[in-house]
Structures are given as structure tokens and as C-alpha cells.
Amino acid sequence: MIKHTVKKGETLYNIAKKYGINLNALLVANSSIRNPALIQPGQVINIPRPAVQRTIVIPRESYGYDEMLNDLQSLEELYPFIEVNSIGSTVMGRSIPVVKLGHGKKEVHYNGSFHANEWITTVLLMKFIENYAKAYASGKKIGSFNIQGLFDTTSLWIVPMVNPDGVQLVQGKIATNTKAYQTALMINSGSRDFRGWKANIRGVDLNDQFPAHWETEVSRRAASAPSPQNYPGNAPLSEPESRAIAEFTQSHNFRLVSAFHTQGEEIYWGYRGLEPNESQLIVTRLVEVSGYEAVRYVESDAGYKDWFIQDWRRPGFTVECGLGVNPLPIAQFWDIWSKVIGIFLMGIYV
């Protein structure tokens, strides 16, 4: 970020032109300026780097927790209106970041990587954060969506990676001499191939952890002990990651939530008849922009979406991105992106 000291006779328009940036980008980098016409000589203002010259989020096979943190730091520096905080910590003490974009009264929440081998959903959400911020800073639309208007009406909260420990394990980034790794190795029957691992580092499926008929889910799951997949834990919200996302959700007034998973190109939108009537209208719009299939009910309980619909009676969705076997290869990224970008935007708009 460059600092500029205002000279006599200068206006924000002149300063923006001098540095080759959009006036709106200058305004969002200086949110404390209430009246742009009243800047004074000697006043110091922030000059953001031209966003169009930098691409921060690069989809790649090795995209994990550290890459996400580095990109979030770079995005904060480039787009000062982005707010990054933490909703809590993982079993191994990793912070779970949350990103806020927009300042509207309506609140919407997206999350990804509940399941460790579905880490490509983190890359999708991070790329959306970058593109959404870039469009706002430059005053441009994304397709037909007016991003300035969405920022003004909606506060979007994104948790890009609910399960950092699990993602690091799948990607081979947990030190093999740690107790956590050795325990996971035992749970994985001694195999160092963790590509099939969905759980957190303790072998608990974080999306089977919510108090929405959890006991019923336990009865139908084959796993009765820590496992790479499908073990609901010994109690609802037993894991720090599931507790963190639950407490975060309870602390907000979300109008809509979407949990992004892989794979199947499906959108699950109902839960035991508790979903509001508008959910069907919304999922119709999501299908229109993505080509995904809408699925109302499946034999499943205790998921994040299930719990949200049950306790708030508001629209909640599980979006299964892409097709194939998890973890989906990064080569599929842009094909998946072309379909979910509309879901990201429509979920804020509706």
C-alpha cells in the first residue's frame, strides 16, 4: 500500500488518475473519508496497487492451508476492505479463518473443505473471494451481477477451510514424527495414502457432527470408531472444528448458508420437511445458473445444512461440485468454476 500526501488543489479524481487506478478503488481503500469533496492538503491517503496487474489465487495441486493463509494476507493488503478473522482452532491448533466481504444488513455464509479430500472447494472459494473483491474495487460487474450493489446490501462471510488439519494430512503436509500423524496412520490401517481421508485429524467426520437427529445418523453409519470416513464422533459437536463453525453460525443472523463439497454436480436443499417454501424457488435459480441437479431429500442427518434448516427454518444448501473420485484433480478446476461461479453470486443476490 502506497501513502500519498494530499497537495493543495488535488482531488481524489486527480489522485486516482495520477496513479492509474479506479476512483472506486481509491474510495474503498480510504473508507474513513466520508465526503470525498472535503479532503485537505496534508491529509495522508492510501493508494492501493492496481488490482488488474496481480493475480493472487493460483489453482494448483499443492494448494493447502499455508497457501490459503499466504493468499489471504496478500488479498488483505491489496483490498483493504476485506476483513479476515478467526472462528476458532483445530485439534492441532491451526486457526480457522473467516473472510467478510460487504457491509450490508443481510448476512450470507459459505464454507468449504468440511471434508479433507474435498480441498478443491477451498480453492474455489478463495478464487471467488479474489474475483468478488477485484470486481468491487474496479467498479465492474461479474456477468450481469452488480457487485457494488451486492456489497451494499449483503455481508458475505466465507470460511474457506473448515478442516485444515485434515487437508494438510491428505496433501502430505503433516510431519510424520508427530503424534497426530501416527494416530492418523493407525486409523488409516497403516497406509500412508490418505487420499480417501475425509475426517478431521482424529478420524471424526465433521459433517456428521451436528445436533440434527445425530443419534439416527450414528445408527446408520458403519464406522463406530475413528475412521477416515463416516465416523460421527462420540457426541454431537465433540470436535473443535465443528464447535467453531456452530458457534460462529449461532453468533450471526444468516439469511442463507451453503456448504461446498465434492462431488456429483448436485444441490441438496431440503431436510425432513423443515425447509422454508422459498428454498425451492432459490434452488431453481441455482440450478439455472449452474446446470446442477436439485435433490430435495437424501437419507442423511447430522450435517451442517441439516442443522441450519432445522434450527433456523431458513434456506440451507449442500453443493456437490464437480464429478469423479475425491480428491478431484486440479485439472478440473476451471470446468467446476464455470458452473459454481453462478451459484456463488446467486446465493448472495436472492
Mean pLDDT, rounded, for 317-342: 98
Mean pLDDT, rounded, for 61-89: 94
262 φ/ψ angles, rounded to the nearest 5 degrees: -135, 145
**pLDDT over threshold 50, residue 159:** yes
Q: What is the pLDDT of residue 49?
A: 67
Per-residue cell: 88: 476458532
The CATH code of domain 65-165+238-349 reads 3.40.630.10
Residue range(s) in the chain whose domain bears CATH number 3.40.630.10: 65-165+238-349
Lowest-confidence pick of 44-53, 86-95, 205-214, 301-310: 44-53
- Model confidence at 223, pLDDT cuts 50, 70, 90, reads confident
Q: What is the pLDDT of residue 3?
A: 82
Q: What is the pLDDT of residue 52?
A: 47
Structural Rg of the chain based on CA atoms: 21
Lowest-confidence pick of 107-116, 221-230, 244-253: 221-230
- Model confidence at 1, pLDDT cuts 50, 70, 90, reads low
Lowest-confidence pick of 30-34, 159-163, 183-187, 294-298: 30-34
**pLDDT over threshold 60, residue 51:** no
The CB density around residue 294, as the number of other CB atoms within 10 Å, is 18
- What 8-state DSSP symbol labels residue 143? T
- CB under 8 Å to 200, separation ≥6 — which residues? 90, 91, 116, 163, 165, 166, 206, 239, 241
Q: Return the beta strands (E) in the chain as ranges.
A: 2-5, 44-47, 83-89, 95-101, 106-112, 154-159, 254-262, 266-268, 293-295, 316-321
267 φ/ψ angles, rounded to the nearest 5 degrees: -125, 110
**pLDDT over threshold 80, residue 297:** yes
Query: Of 130, 217, 241, 320, which residue is the catalytic one?
Result: 320
Sort residue 93 into left (φ over 0), alpha (ψ -120 to 50) or beta: left
- CB under 8 Å to 146, separation ≥6 — which residues? none
Per-residue cell: 8: 493543495
Q: What is the pLDDT of residue 37?
A: 83
User: 304-312 vs 240-250: helix axis angle to the nearest 10?
Assistant: 30
CATH topology of domain 2-47: Membrane-bound Lytic Murein Transglycosylase D; Chain A (3.10.350)
Cα dihedral sign, 23-125-316-277:
positive
**pLDDT over threshold 80, residue 50:** no
Q: Which of 182, 220, 221, 218 is nearest to 202 (CA)?
A: 182
Q: In percent, how much of the chain has pLDDT > 90? A: 83
Cα dihedral sign, 302-291-340-143:
negative
The pLDDT tens digits for 16-30 are: 877 778 888 888 888
- Model confidence at 80, pLDDT cuts 50, 70, 90, reads confident
pTM exceeds 0.75? yes
Quick one: how far is CA 65 from the chain centroid? 13
Specify whether 10 is catalytic: no
Q: What is the pLDDT of residue 53?
A: 55
Give all strands of the β-sheet with 95-101 in edge-to-edge order: 83-89, 95-101, 154-159, 106-112, 254-262, 316-321, 266-268, 293-295
